[in-house]
Each structure stands twice: as C-alpha cells, then as structure tokens.
C-alpha cells in the first residue's frame, strides 16, 4: 500500500467531524432532555431515585475528599503564608479556593468518576440489551424517561454536594490550622467570614450546577449511543469519564472567566 499524504488530512478531518458530531450529539441530548423536563408525564420517582443516586450516595466520597482537601490545603498554604507571616490568610484562602474552584471542580470530578461512568454504563447496557428500544416501543420517550431525570438531579445535587465539600473542607482546614498549626480558631473563622463573599460561594454553586449538567449529559449521551456489546458499554463508561472531566476543567476556566 502506497503512502498517501492526503490520508493524514483525511484522518484529521474524520476525527474533527467525529468530534463535532459528538459535541452536537451531547448538546442536542442536553437540549432534548431539558426540553422534555417541561413535558408531561413528570416522573417524580425517577428524579428522587436519581437524586439519591447522584446526591445521597455520593455524599460520603465527597465528604471524605473535601475533608482531606481542606486539611491538605491548609497545611500547604501554611508553608507559604508562614514565610510572609500571613497565617491569618490560611482560612480565607482555603475557604475562597474551596468555594470558588476546588469545591465545584473536585466535587464534579469525584461525581464524574462515580456517577458519570455509572450513567454511561447503565444506559449503555440498556441500549445494548434493547431496553431503550423496549421503552420506545412502549411509547415512552427514552430521553425523557432516562436522561431528563439524571440531568436534572445532577444539576440539583452537584451544588448540594459542593456545599458539603466546601463545608467539610473548611472544617478540615480549621482542624488542621487550629489543632495542628496552632492558629487562633476564632480569628480563623472571623478572617474566613470576612474574606469570603456570598458571591464566591454562589458562583461556586453555579459552576457546580453546570458541572452536574455536563456529567449527566455526557454520561447519558455516551451510554445512549453505546455500540453493541459489553465492550461498547465499557468504552462508553470510560469515554464518559474522560470527556466529562476534561469538559469540567474547560468549562471551569470559562465560567471563572465569565462569572468572577
């Protein structure tokens, strides 16, 4: 087989087309699911179930990550701030970082790993075993039945998990700062409260909501359009995590640029 230089461009073009298709698919999935949110029937039970899955069942992992993130962050910043004698900035900087960035992003990444992959796998399996077709033949809109509750509950639960993350993270940093680094606890709290604005927290929560949408939509999209077989399902789950994580980080940049 002779080497055709044009093949490189064909390859790039094909990849680009695939990427665009994928983005278009993800976006149209989001629009469909969002649009179907306002179309009856409203299946409250499905929302609750997804909320339980996305929120309640993720709370442990989020609390764990949050606590350690706060502690580590307090420890690390203390090294830097001690150089300037600015230990009183440990609390505020931990709190601000958590509220603005680390809370939403790390929560998003944790939930992606746990929930995004699960959604992709679940829907992928349903797709492969024709359960989605079955839903369709039962005259039930699979997007409305499967995707809408997942997206909505993720949008609602991610900010809630972020609140947990922020809170436990600040508590973790407080413990680190007060009990291990010997800072004044009241000072820590008052500095933190002074420096952190509600805006910081609320924008962090807004970010988290966007991340929630990304996690659910990408996970559902990858599962919904999974290829046949167990391999296809596995691939869908992996891709969902990768695409969601990358999208969260990219979205975080733009959200930070836009909102702060």
Partner 1 sequence: MNKGISTNARVGIFVAVVLLLLFWITFKISSGTIFGRIQGYTLTAEFDNAQGLNTKTGVFIAGIKVGYVEDIKLADDKALVTLRIIPGVKIEDNAKAVIRTKGLLGEKYIEIVPGKQQAAALKPGEQIIFTESPPDLEELMNKLNGIASDVKSVTQSLNDVFGGSKGEKNMRGMFDNLNRTITHMDRLITSTNKNLNRTFDSVNTFAQALKEQGPDILTNLAQISGELHAIIAENKQSVNRTMENINQASERLDKTLANLEVITGNLKEGKGAIGKLLSDKKTEQQVTKAISGLSSMVGGTSRFRTIISYRGEYQFAYHNVKSYLDLRLQPTWDKYYLLGIVDDPGGYSSTSTTYTTVKNVNTGTVQQTETVNNNISNQLKINAEIAKRISYFTFRGGVIESSGGIGVDINAPNDKAQLSVEMFNFNEKPYPELKAMLSISILRYFLLSGGMTDIANRDVRTWFMGVGLKFDDQDLKSIFGLAASTTYVNTK
Partner 2 sequence: MQIDIKGLKKSFGTNSVLNGIDLTIEDGKTTVIVGQTGCGKSVLIKHIIGLLRPDAGQIIVNGADITKLKRKEFGGILKNFGVLFQNSALFDSMTVGENVAFPLREHTGLSPTKIMDVVREKLAIVGLKGVEQLYPAELSGGMKKRVGLARAIALDPQVLIFDEPTTGLDPVMSDTIDNLIMNTQKHLGVTSIVISHDIPGTFKIARWIAMLYKGKVVLYGSPDDFRNTQDPIVRQFLERRAEGPLQVEA
Site for partner 1 in 151-210 (CB under 8 A): 160-161, 163-164, 166-167, 193-194, 196-199, 201
Q: Among residues 173 and 245, whose Cβ is nearest to partner 1?
A: 173
| 257: contact with partner 1 by CB under 8 A | no
Token pair, residue 74, equals 């307090």
Respond yes or no on whether the N-terminal peptide bond of residue 41 is cis (omega within 30° of 0): yes
Token pair, residue 147, equals 């995707």
Query: If contact means CB under 5 to 8 A according to the sort of partner, which of partner 2, partner 1, none does residue 2 touch?
Result: none
Minimum CB–partner distance for residue 73 and partner 1 (Å):
18
Site for partner 2 in 108-147 (CB under 8 A): 125-126, 129-131, 133-134, 136-140
Site for partner 1 in 2-31 (CB under 8 A): none
Q: Among residues 125 and 244, whose Cβ is nearest to partner 2?
A: 125
CB-count exposure of residue 44 (10 Å: 0-12, 13-18, 19+): exposed
Q: With CB under 8 A as the contact rule, which of the stretches 30-38, 50-58, 224-232, 249-257 interacts with partner 1? A: 50-58
- DSSP per residue, 117-178: HHHHHHHHHHHHTTHHHHHHHTT--HIIIIIHHHHHHHHHHHHHHHHHHHHHHHHHHHHIII
> Distance between CA atoms of 23 and 109, rounded to whole angstroms?
20
Among 8, 23, 56, 64, binds partner 1 (CB under 8 A): 56
Return the ∠ at Cα 33 (arms to 28 and 35), rounded to 5°: 90
| 49: contact with partner 1 by CB under 8 A | yes
> Distance between CA atoms of 87 and 2, rounded to whole angstroms?
67
Return the ∠ at Cα 128 (arms to 142 and 246), rounded to 5°: 75
Minimum CB–partner distance for residue 56 and partner 1 (Å):
5
Residues engaged in binding partner 2 (CB under 8 A):
41, 125-126, 129-131, 133-134, 136-140
Residues engaged in binding partner 1 (CB under 8 A):
45, 48-49, 51-52, 55-56, 59, 160-161, 163-164, 166-167, 193-194, 196-199, 201
């Amino acid at each position: 087989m002779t080497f055709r230089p044009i093949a490189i461009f064909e390859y790039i073009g094909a990849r680009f087309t695939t990427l665009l298709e994928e983005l278009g698919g993800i976006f149209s999935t989001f629009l469909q699911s969002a649009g179907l949110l306002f179309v009856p029937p409203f299946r409250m039970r499905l929302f609750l179930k997804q909320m339980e899955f996305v929120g309640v069942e993720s709370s442990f992992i989020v609390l764990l990550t949050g606590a350690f993130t706060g502690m580590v962050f307090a420890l690390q910043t203390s090294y830097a701030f001690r150089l300037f004698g600015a230990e009183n900035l440990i609390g505020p900087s931990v709190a601000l970082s958590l509220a603005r960035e680390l809370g939403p992003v790390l929560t998003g990444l944790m939930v992606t790993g746990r929930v995004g992959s699960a959604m992709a796998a679940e829907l992928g399996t349903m797709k492969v075993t024709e359960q989605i077709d079955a839903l369709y033949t039962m005259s039930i809109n699979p997007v409305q039945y499967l995707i809408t509750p997942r997206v909505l509950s993720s949008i609602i639960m991610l900010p809630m998990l972020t609140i947990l993350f922020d809170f436990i993270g600040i508590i973790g940093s407080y413990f680190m700062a007060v009990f291990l680094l010997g800072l004044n606890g009241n000072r820590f709290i008052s500095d933190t409260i002074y420096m952190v604005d509600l805006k910081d927290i609320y924008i962090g929560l807004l970010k988290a909501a966007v991340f929630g949408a990304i996690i659910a939509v990408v996970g559902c999209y990858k599962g919904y359009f999974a290829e046949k077989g167990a391999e296809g399902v596995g691939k869908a789950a992996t891709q969902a995590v990768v695409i969601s994580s990358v999208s969260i980080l990219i979205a975080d940049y733009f959200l930070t640029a836009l909102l702060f």
